[in-house]
Structure 1
């Protein structure tokens, strides 16, 4: 019994401390709620008194309206990519509360400027030296934070006009001359010589082949030209060169070559068709031979035809041959 009572006595202080902590926690939370909320709505006031304007005596927690203004400029306003420029930014606090930790970033450098605190209505200026970008635009960014912890961000841009390219330097005043040989006309070859520079040319002389095309022209003013003609045979090569000098003594020259074409050959005459040969003359037909019989002179005997006479002579020859052979055979036997 004594042990049970001692346990209850020990637990009683702990329960009382827990109750006191719970009460204090509830009271502290009730006091912190208005501080944690940024907009506290007060109870509806009664009707304003006569002569009192609404808003003169506001009750409740104040509401913040943080705001920033930002403007950026570039000097010079006309530049080419890579040229040095200076970017300037003007930051203003257009809200109704002080802004802390105001920082401006300019991308021409880039540069980061810390302006710190900025009161309502105040302005600050930041500048940065850099180079003009290729796209011709620079930007700026400003950030800050109100007393109640609300962040504020503002951005601005500026265009850079590209400057026109620098004009090319004028060409030096050097002497130059041009020579041309035009196609021949009726055996005459036109040869124009022109001063293509902006300075007078002295001692203009044309040399080459054929000798008939050589000339001494003397002085030739800027932009002026002289054309002369010379004779050249068809197919003869015309090779000319011109030389001149300026007042400063600089020498210039040019040459040209042309071969006048040969005149076209006359068209060949078409061959005439071969003349028809007359038909060969008919050979005369010899008259037919008459079979005449040769009659022997009167011999008093019977007359025979030539065929019979020939046969008789042949038989006689055979007989003579046989007789000769027989005589030879007899002589041979007798010699043995």
Structure 2
């Protein structure tokens, strides 16, 4: 039985032919993303701006009516709630942002929690309020700072590993590609104003891992070919390397996108932002491993001699002595 091949053998696409148009597009999108982030900002969720969390158990039900609850709580005018199950299917948490002015008037947050609790108990006779927790803006701000530090540390640590594993040019190229990918994902949240919460941070960490994984696969093949084809012009060698890894890239990215699209379309609303971030992230990571990471090596002056060990004076003397025998 003949296997299906999404990418035919001996594929020879001249990717580097479009390096300047794609570079201009990438830079323009990055600049636009940062303009949107700085002007519109991110729609930070309860995790980063503070809020109230109400824990509810439906004692007579096997599972909580999430869709109905979301509609009921949203109708109270306190903004869009985040309703999730935890533990058993009939145990939920309702998270809402702190109302405006609650930092000066703590009673406003308490009044909001009482209103929501009363609405849930009135609409559902078996609803039991297990507790109300408040997350202050200060604690949430510290959480946001920690999340940013985690993203930066993850990116830097893996880039240093690539630097050590290959050459410094590869580490710089991987880091720039990573900045490109994360910036475009943040730009998506800035332009759509989807809620940016801890699940989004998890998605961005996943994008970081996938971006570097995809880049490393391409870089590893480039390094092998640099040792193998020492006289081949670098643009041709990069095209060859990308084409040789294209089948793996297409299959991996394609299967992940199918799963993520199913999650975005059929999954619950609460994980839509997570799915959207990963969908764009996978697409952008695949694009950058071809049109950002590879051309970067040309601009950073990588040559076949980058992987040839420098012969010391003693090694040269020993080699000449062996040749004279």
Q: TM-score range by the shorter chain?
A: under 0.3
TM-score by length of 1: 0.18
More helix by share: 2
Report 1 or 2 for greater relative contact order, CA contacts < 8 Å, sequence distance ≥ 6.
2
More strand by share: 1
TM-score by length of 2: 0.18
